[in-house]
Structure 1
Amino acid sequence: MALDVKDKIIEIIAEQAVLDPSDVSLDQTLEALGIDSLGLVESIFAIEEAFDITVPFNANEPDQSEFDISSVAAIVKAVQGLIEDQKA
């Protein structure tokens, strides 16, 4: 499942950045990929829909969010945590 989560998130982020998924690495930031605040919000919505989760994210104050968006890897880890919490 973890690999599927990572691959799906990379696919969603690549789509927002208009890149091939192979051009997205885990250590990259969304900013480095050219994703602006609107793209970030659209990515969050796509992630919520893909995994049937609710991301605790405030688009008006992304720095105040519990959801770590500092890198692609951080997003993958946060989503995996939300999926595990939902199963519990």
Structure 2
Amino acid sequence: MMVRTRIREIIAEQAMLEPDQVTDDATPQDLGIDSLGLVDSIFAIEEEFDISIPFNANEPEKSEFDITNMGTIIAAVERLVAQNAA
């Protein structure tokens, strides 16, 4: 399964949406995901792909992990998964 597809499924589960509703330009807020939900999603993604995401929930603006929208989240996770596989 593609990383992108699985991330969409994880986020959709968190937001109680269908995976096809998780579009690249949707922000977590657009999907109704609050900060706690975002942290839960990040934990689920880390567990799924056995990666560590550099995200500080207390200071998200200082994180290296871009949570602007689903596209940036997916791209960042794909990079981490690729680095982990190397």
Q: Same fold by TM (over 0.5)?
A: yes
C-alpha distance after superposition, 1:13-54 (max 9, x if no partner) = 111111111211111001110000000000000000110100
Give the TM-score, by structure 1 length.
Answer: 0.92
Please give the alpha-carbon distance, in whole angstroms, between the structure 2 residues aligned to 1:76 and 1:87: 16
Alignment root-mean-square deviation, CA: 1.0
Identity of aligned residues (%): 59
- Which residues of 2 match residues 43-54 of structure 1 at below 5 A? 43-54=41-52
> Match of 2:31?
33
Q: In the alignment, is residue 70 of structure 1 matched against residue 68 of structure 2?
A: yes
The one-letter code sitting in structure 2 at the alignment partner of 1:38 is L
Structure 1, unaligned stretches of length 5 or more?
none
C-alpha distance after superposition, 1:46-80 (max 9, x if no partner) = 00011010001101001110011111110110011
Runs of 4+ in 1 over 2 A off after TM superposition: none
> Match of 2:40?
42
> Match of 1:16?
14
Q: In the alignment, is residue 58 of structure 1 matched against residue 56 of structure 2?
A: yes
The alignment covers a number of residue pairs equal to 86
Please give the alpha-carbon distance, in whole angstroms, between the structure 2 residues aligned to 1:36 and 1:57: 15
